Amino acid sequence: MGELTHTEFRKSLPPKVRDLIAELEKAGFVNRGGKGSHRNFVHERCSRPITVSGGLGDDAKHYQIRAVRQAVRESANEG
């Protein structure tokens, strides 16, 4: 008792940058490139581009998570 399964443990950690990118791509965002570790995603129904920085295996920052989830909601609501 008290031990977490791998899945439960993973869910308790912050998502990785690769997870945020997957969320954006699933919602129809397109990667427009960027410099270095920065990637700019655009969507025709989203008012501004979303920039995701960091390596694919890096933990996502709280502000990145919030921005991505807000952009995904915005792209789904308008239309």
pLDDT, tens digit, for every residue of 37-78? 999 999 999 989 999 999 999 999 999 999 999 999 999 885
CATH of the domain at 58: 3.30.920.30
> Tens digit of pLDDT for each residue in 5-32?
877 766 778 899 999 999 999 999 999 9
The boundaries of the domain holding residue 40 are 14-77
DSSP 62: H
Residue 74 burial (10 A CB sphere; 0-12, 13-18, 19+): middle
**Of 44, 24, 49, 17, nearest to 34 (Cα)?**
49
For the chain, the domain total comes to: 1
Q: Is residue 3 part of a domain?
A: no
- The answer to whether 71 and 43 have CB atoms below 8 angstroms apart is yes
Look at residues 26, 41, 40, 31 and name the one whose alpha carbon lies nearest to residue 76. 26
